[in-house]
Structure 1
């Protein structure tokens, strides 16, 4: 039987989604255009879909800021190592918890849930980091968040959906738990692993508060901390300043802010298209089964 078509619904649906997409994408495009505009374009009101002239003065100014490149490399290192550590700890914790025959499984799960809802607070965390000798140490930015309970629950629920017959067949062939984890579980868990990795990467990339508390050496600071310091310094200055010999045109504070935003979110924006196909599937399956 031929399916009925709903042209009016389809038209309204496409129109609504198109307008919604434009509403979401336009602020990002406006920021991108503003970051490559000169002072004359930036000072005019209205929509800016395309600059009259593409200039890079704002980016040149941002990259001349003290410690910006060092902070950029520190953030990349922190994001890569921190994400790998979170994914590893999450997988090694969620896999045993997904086994219904695990002794005291419910007690372990309750223990993790309590730790997710209750914490010691800022001062106890600082005293703990200090007692461990991690002050002004890059590990203070990575180790405290290595175990994320919410990600563990999501991955645990996902692993419970994997057919147990696959593991039983592997056991009959002589495989152990570690062999099953690496050869069967991990290949079948790419969606939820990509989801957890994306959450971890975004969290580490955007983090700045822990660096402000634990890090004193400027050579160990992260990008978001330098961006914050830059914005504070620019807010205290005049809203217009010279290009520093980069060009004859002056830069506006809005140009620099836009360039700073693009620099700080650029790598994460590039990751999303590659992880999106796993992201939706991983979070949906991981959040349904209890």
Structure 2
């Protein structure tokens, strides 16, 4: 079956999908995106994702490309047309197509929108979660507005590639104070030796992850000990367990950081339990 993409008002074969060479996303990375999990024919936490999309657009003074209700319709259509039962749906909005100029184009230039979807294997993700992943630290080198889900991800690519070349699955950014900010495409968590779950506040320095928000709801519901504060790389080395969260991997246990074994070197019970319960604390919209 050919994959289908939505590009500026048309559903087209994925192989034929294209935007103009002077789209500002291509020229300037002038745009934002969202990635929603598709789980059992349901889009996970779509309202929160679209809330965050709206905020990102507002922070960059980009208009919605269509009404929010229309965006929801397109997301569902792309998932259906690609017959994605488990996987992701991706939406990207840029400032649109205009002559290359650092100044914003005229208000008459419409934003561009692209939506794609692809399947993934829950079994493969679960198999990885049963062994855990390694992460490697990387000096924080991004612009300060990481709270905006911008498509300008070159620093993230460099960090993740560095981790991959060392045998890792993710990079953890470390700021000038020696504190972990977040992963290249995930939020970072630890469980202290006292059993307290810790993640960095999302006021600044990290993206306010939607999966992170779902995990926080679950933590509150289950009555787990929790602190929202910065934690150092040294504290992470000494943690009972660690994990990362994102729409693409839910809660993924971390068993090594910079070649340091975390806990007993196996996925921790807290991360494993949160992963098992995650979808019981999320907003599920049937496709």
Give TM-score scaled by structure 1 length.
0.20
* Larger RCO, structures 1/2 (Cα 8 Å, 6+ apart): 1
Choose between structure 1 and 2: higher strand proportion: 2
Q: Which is greater in Rg?
A: 1
